[in-house]
Amino acid sequence: MALISEASILLDGGRASRGNLTKARIRWVIAALFLVFAAVAGRLIQLGATVNDATIEGVARDIITATRPPLLDRNGLEMAVDIRVPSLFAEPRRIVDVEEAVTKLRTVLPELDEAWLRNKLTGDKGFVWIKRELTPAIEERIFQLGIPGIEFVTESKRFYPSGREASHILGGVNIDNQGTMGIEKHMDDGDLALLQELGIARDQALTPVSLSLDLRVQHAMYEQLADSLIRYQAIAASAVTVDVRTGEVVGLVSLPDYDPNDPGSINAEYRGLKNQRFNRITSGIYELGSTLKTVTLAGALDSGKVRMTDRFDARFGVRFGRFTIDDFHGKHRVLSVPEVYKYSSNIGTIKIMQAMGKDEFRAFLTKLGFDKGVPFELPEMRTPKVPEKFSEIVAATASFGHGMSISPLHMAQAYAGFVNGGIMVPVTLMKRSEAEAAAFGTRIISEQTSDEIRSLMRLNALSGSGTRMNTYANGYRAGGKTGTAEKVVKGRYAVGTNLNVFASGFPLDDPRYVMVVVIDEPKRESPTTGTTAGWNAGEVTGRIIQRIAPMLGISPDFSQMLDDQLVPAEIR
């Protein structure tokens, strides 16, 4: 009995011991599970409280991946489009082995500086750029390296199919696809529906923006201006063509230019000089010489103080103190108003301005907007330099284009108003109908004065300084005015260093377009030719009209009757 009792006690003790051990193990398992769940919960709370970095080196990812609206010419041809390209960035805080990452990346991108790359990949930053705008082939090779913390983002890259031909209009964008110049900057800064609700889209198409430009016209103008740089050994050339009914700019070229697909090329030297690749039509202001005589005659005729039948004594120069203003090739006789224009008489123009009155002449320049910037989409604009008040001598020199500086765009806008019946319509790079343009127009001269100015412009093409232009543009009833202005060098007019201009309209029997062509410092094409504007800017104008008139729906007509009808009845 004693033995059985002792065995029972031992058996009960063993069961109790095993039971206690099991309970202890269960408690440890529960504690371990609690710790695991606590760690998971803590991590979830941490992740939930973490604010993801939505920028890459300070630029929002949304902006980096955004697209811009396509830019089209008036006929729907693409001038600027977005293409999608991969760009490489790193998350340094996820890089496991910096040296390994540096070595591997340089096998694909050997142009990356080793020290620079090591510095980029070191630290705890969220995102840093490594290489922007790569090819898909490079992207695939880097993917194959399998480097933790190295990722790609798909960006939009702007591409300009027309290349250099419209560079000064289109402008350009920076590496983040933000507009920096030209119409691209205007879309970011302007009011195009805030670039169609912030002007950006993410993986969706934006409504294309249609410009007033005609790429066919642009190409023809570009070719002829590029030819003029060689033909006349000029340092620069530029031109603008405007629809006189709507104010639409259908072509605008300025040389030297740059490649908008390579924005840095705008800073390249030109003929050993810096800062030469600017838009001379909008941001260049010049003394435009005798093209201002059209302005003077328009104002004087419209004032009623001068008539087409009037005559002015141009036998002797006009004296101001110790200075005498004379004619370049003077007739030195009494001249009619048409003869003053045809022979480009400085003396006759001064006397016409004096008959009008210097204060009224100055007020007319304000009416034309010559003393303020042209309201235009391109941000590259300069304020003209026109004296606020005219003394007798300043008014005299301004009447034939000296002593005041405006842009060629100012002149094109004014000439459009002179030939279209007297309504000046603000110029624009956006498509606009005639009905829409009518709401913006301002009358600057009467219809009768407009008819008289058109007759003078055509007269100059038939028998004045525009005859060489007319030879090339024969049949398209073009007319205009030359301007040969000596440039100011170191504060003095430099003899033989000219800025040559030709301002024209066509067809003058039914005005559709005006054009201003500027050739900077042209030389003789041959020993038998000249250096004044008729020999270069005039010829270039004629060649351009010959090319673009058929594109614009203008048919040649050689009828003498059309020219006869342009002559005012009182002098016919």
My answer on whether omega of the bond before 408 falls inside 30° of 0, hence cis, is no
Q: What is the SS3 string spanning 17-28?
A: HHHHHHHHHHHH
Residue 499, φ and ψ in degrees, nearest 5: -110, 115
Q: What residue spans of 311-446 are helical by DSSP H?
A: 337-342, 346-356, 358-367, 392-399, 408-419, 434-438
Which H/E stretch holds residue 509? none
Do the Cβ atoms of 537 and 500 come closer than 8 Å? yes
How far apart CA 489 and CA 494 sit, in angstroms, is 6
Distance CA 197, CA 119 (A): 39
Reduced to 3 states (helix: H, G, I; strand: E, B; else coil), residue 187 is helix
- Enter the tokens of residue 570: 């009182």
Q: CA–CA distance from 321 to each of 102, 318, 450, 492 (Å)? A: 78, 10, 36, 19
Q: Is the peptide bond before 426 cis (omega within 30 degrees of 0)?
A: no
Cβ atoms of 512 and 554 closer than 8 Å: yes
114 Cα distance to chain centroid:
40
From the candidates 212, 228, 290, 465, give the one annotated as an active-site residue. Answer: 290
Measure the CA–CA gap between 382 and 373, rounded to whole angstroms.
Answer: 6
- Residue 290 appears among annotated catalytic residues: yes
Cβ density class 552-567: b for 16+ within 10 Å, e for less: bebeeeeeeeebeebb
- Cα separation, 564 vs 569, in Å, equals 10
The kind and range of the H/E element at 430 are: none
Q: What are phi and psi of 124, to 5 degrees?
A: -120, 25
- What six digits make up the tokens of 124? 């705890």
Query: Rounded to whole angstroms, how far apart are CA atoms 394 and 387?
Result: 8
Could you give phi then psi for residue 259, rounded to 5 degrees? -100, 110
**Distance spanning both ends of the chain, measured CA to CA:** 158
- Residues recorded for the chain: 572
DSSP annotation of 164: G
Alpha-carbon span 397 to 349, nearest angstrom? 10
Active site residues: 290
